[in-house]
Amino acid sequence: MITIISYDINPHKTNYLRSMIRIVILGAGNVSTHLCKAFNASEEILLIQLYSRNKSSLKSFSETIETTSSISELKAADVYIIAIADDSIKSFSETLPFNDKLVVHTSGSMSISELSENNRKGVFYPLQTFTKESEVDFINIPICIEASTIPDLKLLKKLGRTISEKVVKINSDERAKLHLAAVFVNNFVNHLYQKGSEILEENSLPFDLLKPLIIETVNKIESLSPKEAQTGPAKRNDIKTIEKHLHLLKNSTHKELYLQLTKAIQKKYNP
Ligand SMILES: NC(=O)c1ccc[n+]([C@@H]2O[C@H](COP(=O)([O-])OP(=O)(O)OC[C@H]3O[C@@H](n4cnc5c(N)ncnc54)[C@H](OP(=O)(O)O)[C@@H]3O)[C@@H](O)[C@H]2O)c1
């Protein structure tokens, strides 16, 4: 016996689906991993597909998203988000097999003009440090957007608002400076954690001892300016302590770094 099943098409549901923003993400690294999670959790986004040139990087995504490693299989979407290494954005965007779609990159340092002329251009830069293994909450992450046309800018604003409360319009020149500042406060500071951890390790002391200090340094910035928050021998100009530290430092790179930073702080507070 043949059973005929009829489906009722709910016009409200169809309209709802139509108002969702369809996304394809290109690249399967740190940023892509977190964007996929955030967009998948949003009811206003249809995450259509994830592309990576490398099949093995797609394995961990394949249960939740349709994936492809073939650029010719890319599906139709409202926004294509390129989240790949900065140096490859330009050449990769040239290889996309369609025209006049909105294609954005997620880089802080790359100009919007890096993107191919074949498509409409934009930027969707989440100002945060992303590592696959570390959870992030997008709600307070500034999403810096840029687009060549007003309708595209509106679409990126709507897209950003689905995951964050802080969507800001920033042009390529401003973003490059923002990224430069971010390198100082994140990458360089983290490198200094690394140096601190090496010094402790050489002396068989646990890095955990420094964590409350690191956390308080970060917390202070909520109520004080960086200038007001500074403490330490360089600010006080405690020469004996500085000399003692330099004597303790055996590694010439550590010594050079210590001297440069000390001089910079001294210059700021004791010009
Ligand atoms: N990580 C952050 O904290 C952060 C924050 C904000 C913005 N961003 C920006 O987001 C973008 C991605 O950064 P990420 O940290 O996610 O990078 P990532 O973890 O290093 O991942 C890079 C991805 O790019 C792919 N890729 C590299 N060259 C490619 C090429 N020529 N063609 C196709 N795919 C290529 C890699 O594929 P394979 O695995 O095959 O090499 C990988 O999937 C960058 O523009 C970066 O500036 C990063």
- Give yes or no for residue 47 CB within 6 A of ligand 1: no
DSSP bridge partners of 169: 145
Residue 128: C-alpha distances to residues 106, 112, 259 (Å): 11, 19, 29
- Please compute Rg for the chain using Cα positions: 24
Q: What is the pLDDT of residue 17?
A: 67
Contact 124, 81 (CB under 8 A): yes
Amino acid at site 234:
A
CA angle 155, 159, 165 (to 5 degrees): 120
In the chain, how long is the greatest CA-to-CA distance?
95
What domains does the chain contain, in order, with CATH numbers?
A: 11-170 (3.40.50.720), 176-269 (1.10.1040.20)
Q: What is the DSSP annotation of 112-157?
A: GGGS-TTSEEEEEEE-S---TTS---GGGS-EEEEESSHHHHHHHH
3-state secondary structure 95-115: CCCCCCCEEEECCCCCCHHHC
Q: What is the pLDDT of residue 19?
A: 84
Atom of ligand 1 nearest to the CA of 128: 5
**Ligand 1: which of 60, 84, 175 to mutate, most ligand atoms within 8 Å of CB?**
84
- Give yes or no for residue 53 CB within 6 A of ligand 1: yes
Quick: pLDDT tens for 88-114: 999 999 999 999 999 999 999 999 999
Atom of ligand 1 nearest to the CA of 54: 40
Cα 82 to ligand 1 centre (Å): 9
Share of the chain above pLDDT 70, in %: 93
DSSP bridge partners of 167: 143
Q: What is the pLDDT of residue 226?
A: 97
Structure tokens at 121: 């251009």
CB-side neighbour CA atoms (13 Å) of 223: 4
Q: What is the pLDDT of residue 10?
A: 52
Q: What is the pLDDT of residue 271?
A: 80
Enclosing H/E stretch for 193: helix 189-202
Atom of ligand 1 nearest to the CA of 88: 31
Cα 6 to ligand 1 centre (Å): 46
Q: What is the pLDDT of residue 270?
A: 85
Which parts of the chain have pLDDT scores under 50?
Answer: 1-9
Q: Output the residue whose Cα is nearest ligand 1's atom 30.
A: 88
Q: What is the pLDDT of residue 12?
A: 53
- Give yes or no for residue 106 CB within 6 A of ligand 1: yes
CA 265 remoteness from chain centre: 29
* Burial (0-12, 13-18, 19+ Cβ within 10 Å), 231: exposed
- Which of 262, 215, 219, 110 is CA-nearest to residue 171? 110
Total-model pTM: 0.91
Length of the chain: 271
